[in-house]
A and B are shown apart, each in its own frame.
Chain A
Amino acid sequence: MNILKKISLGMALITGIAIAISGTAITAEPVKVGFIYIGPPGDHGWTYRHDIGRKAVEAHFGDAVETTFQENVPEGPDAVRAITQMALSGHDLIFTTSYGYMDQTLAVAKKFPNVKFEHATGWKTADNVSNYGLKLYQSRHVQGVIAGLMTKTNKICYVASFPIPEVIREINTFYLGAKTQNPNVALQIVWVYTWYDPGKEADAAQAMIDNGCDVITQHTDSPAPLVTAEKAGLVGFGQASDQTPFAPNAQLTGTIDNWDPYYIDRVQAVIDGTWEGHGTYFGDISEGAVGMAPFANMPQDVMDIAMNVRAKITNGTYFAFTGPLKDQSGELRLKDGEVASRMMLDTMDWYVEGITAKYPD
């Protein structure tokens, strides 16, 4: 062919391709979002709230988004497989909702640079991996305040899962809250070394009730401790979701994990093409990410004090981890007026002064 023909052929080709591309750009495929759960959505706790977040995404975006999930995925190589399966099957964004998926998420993220990952409550990031969490300790502090006021035996108790910083800081803030209202309060802690085991959680709660405590809180995922409290005619706090249906007379309030705004926000970012991997995002009570179940089963004056504390935390004028603060051994951890840094909160491995239980080693 002569040169003119070649050029016109080439231009026709380019034009054709351009039309084809713009055509596909207009009819976009739904964004596929996947969720990896550590437990069942029926736990009425941690996974339950994540699943609600997933449903909120579906409701918000309608046909533009398609969600899938896999439940009861054990941490370890099975998680690698589950996450990889999702990445291979065309998912654009994958949420891995447990700390123990951290290394696995990163390993898969390395192999799939075009897929975006969100890992809950971890700290390792990458270009296509973000971390996210909630400032659950804000709500826990208010719970502590209520506990300090409501206890008649001056013994309040904690069903704790694993001695990791996020659990330790919530124990500390709970105690601090109670102490501000009741200097004589004592905290009992039982470690059950599981996130979800209704039998064990119930037994732990019962053991502490037998030892005299009358306000129960927990960092485990089932409603069992609260049900145990209800049976004993005592009060306590729900975890991760409003557990009133299980214990109408016992629940004072409870932390409600609200992942909806963050999830919707991140999916939107993927749709808009503005998604970027970032270091840990922590949902704040002021954003509605950390909710509290309606205050109930307590006298009005207790409610008023609690509401007041909550308001101060929400507008930022009060933060429990403000110095002077000593740890169990008497060492000064926060100087007068000093506020705990993100680093200190994320690596907290000491009890505050006043907690007599031995720190688990």
Chain B
Amino acid sequence: MNGRTIPRIMWLIINLFSISLVKRSEPSKTWTALTPLLAVIFTMIAGGLLFMILGKDPFLALRVMFWDPIFGEMSFYFRPQLLIKAAPLILIALGLSICFRAGIWNIGAEGQYIIGAICGASVALAFYPYESVFIFPLMILVGGIGGWVWAMIPALLRTKFNTNEILVSLMLVYVAEQILNSLAIGLLRNPEGNGFPGSRNLQDYASASNHEIWVGTGAHWGVVLALGFAVGFYILLNQHLLGFQTKLTGQSPRAAKFSGISPNFLIVICLGLSGMLAGLAGLFEVSGPSGQITIGFNVGYGFTAIIVAFLGRLNPLGIVLAGLLMALTYIGGELAQMQLGLPAAAIQAFQGMLLFFLLALDVLSNYRFNFRFRKAS
């Protein structure tokens, strides 16, 4: 055996067989359920290699990131944090999954999240310092409407002018960020804040704050609604006509049209719903864990939720699991940062790799590998 044997064997194989992909008539159920699991395993392997290159013990790093937050010594604190971190991701991803199923690409969830938070917080600040049990529900309503309105912009531009919703919704994220900055420094700024940017802290304002419902669980109203919507969507998609309509439109727009579904109607409904959920996520964050409208309030949940949606296979229950997994990477990553000196950037790279592997493995659920002997030519 010399150094040329293996390349020779490979060359032989490649020329003996031809490998092609044949589209399946319908996506394989087993592979669809299996790919996220495989993707996670591959990512852990690749991530472990990455940590090794960075000079950290890969097994220790993986344990700190994935095991300790759930079962380790401080997990009584971290398990609720998982729910807190996962709630906005799940809420937004649920809305996105509806859009993506229908082939509508809402990339601007981050902007809808911001606007929802601004609208809800503004209501609270307008009522300050009055206490009333009606303030919080009103905030929820207004937050949802705010996100809905922001998503209506790309929706209406798409239905009336056929403008690409990817770019419009994306540009609106930047516009929303600037509005946020402007309000944090100007109109919504805390008058008792010594001139520093940022609104009053809503956690100090009892009627407006989004507290833990059961102490120690981390479950605030956002968590409850996230799980509630997940169950609701599951029922909706499997039992209701709307679920069928979105699926069909996504897979075959022409067939959908022929069966009487108005694509415009669907665009407005899906984007609107998605915007509303993103706005709600923003509202629960600003009245809960985050506490105030300030520069840098948004941390990219709108974009991470896209990964969660895909990881959860656009399925509500899958999204809940995927959201929790993503939250684990965040929190485990922070733990690894503190205990092992692992750089924060490693977490982002990790999340990107997860999506890469998922997308690559996805081919298995939609296509079949076909090995054929090459015919002598």
Interface residues of A (CB under 8 A from B): 68, 70-72, 74-78, 80-82, 84-86, 88-89, 99-100, 103, 107, 123, 162-165, 168, 193, 346-349, 360-361
B331–chain A nearest beta-carbon distance, Å: 7
A-B contact pairs, 7 of them (CB 8 A): A76-B289, A76-B294, A78-B299, A86-B338, A100-B198, A103-B201, A163-B185
Cβ–Cβ < 8 Å partners of A347 in chain B? 194-195
- Asked whether B344 lies within 8 Å of A72 as measured between CB atoms, the reply is yes
- Asked whether A85 lies within 8 Å of B196 as measured between CB atoms, the reply is no
> How long is the Cα–Cα vector from A70 to B336 in the complex, in angstroms?
10
> How long is the Cα–Cα vector from A314 to B139 in the complex, in angstroms?
53
Residue of A72, A88, A123, A162 near B197 (CB, 8 A) is: A162
A84 and B77 in contact, given A103-B291, A162-B197 (Cβ under 8 angstroms): yes
- Asked whether B334 lies within 8 Å of A82 as measured between CB atoms, the reply is yes
- Asked whether A361 lies within 8 Å of B334 as measured between CB atoms, the reply is no
- Asked whether B295 lies within 8 Å of A85 as measured between CB atoms, the reply is no
Residue of B186, B196, B198, B344 near A361 (CB, 8 A) is: B186
Interface hub of B196, B198, B289 (most chain A Cβ within 10 A): B196
| CB nearest to B289 among chain A residues | A77
Asked if B278 is an interface residue, CB under 8 A from chain A, the answer is no
Asked if B105 is an interface residue, CB under 8 A from chain A, the answer is no
Residue of A70, A99, A193 near B181 (CB, 8 A) is: A193
- Asked whether B185 lies within 8 Å of A81 as measured between CB atoms, the reply is no
> How long is the Cα–Cα vector from A125 to B194 in the complex, in angstroms?
15
Nearest 3 interchain pairs by C-beta: A77-B289, A165-B195, A164-B196
A74 and B181 in contact, given A80-B289, A84-B77 (Cβ under 8 angstroms): no
> How long is the Cα–Cα vector from A84 to B77 in the complex, in angstroms?
9
> How long is the Cα–Cα vector from A360 to B186 in the complex, in angstroms?
9
A122–chain B nearest beta-carbon distance, Å: 9
* Chain B interface, number of residues (Cβ within 8 angstroms): 30
> How long is the Cα–Cα vector from A81 to B186 in the complex, in angstroms?
29
Cβ–Cβ < 8 Å partners of B185 in chain A? 162-163, 193, 360
- Asked whether A76 lies within 8 Å of B196 as measured between CB atoms, the reply is no
Give 6 new A-B contacts, CB below 8 A, not counting A76-B294, A77-B291: A74-B296, A76-B297, A103-B201, A103-B203, A164-B195, A348-B195
| CB nearest to A162 among chain B residues | B197
- Asked whether A70 lies within 8 Å of B337 as measured between CB atoms, the reply is yes
- Asked whether B338 lies within 8 Å of A193 as measured between CB atoms, the reply is no
Cβ–Cβ < 8 Å partners of A88 in chain B? 74, 77
Asked if B287 is an interface residue, CB under 8 A from chain A, the answer is no
- Asked whether A78 lies within 8 Å of B334 as measured between CB atoms, the reply is yes
A62–chain B nearest beta-carbon distance, Å: 21
- Asked whether B344 lies within 8 Å of A71 as measured between CB atoms, the reply is yes
Asked if B335 is an interface residue, CB under 8 A from chain A, the answer is yes
Asked if B274 is an interface residue, CB under 8 A from chain A, the answer is no
- Asked whether A85 lies within 8 Å of B338 as measured between CB atoms, the reply is yes
- Asked whether A85 lies within 8 Å of B74 as measured between CB atoms, the reply is yes
> How long is the Cα–Cα vector from A260 to B201 in the complex, in angstroms?
32
**CB-contacts of B145-201 with A (<8 A):** 181, 185-186, 194-198, 201
Asked if B81 is an interface residue, CB under 8 A from chain A, the answer is yes
Asked if B365 is an interface residue, CB under 8 A from chain A, the answer is no
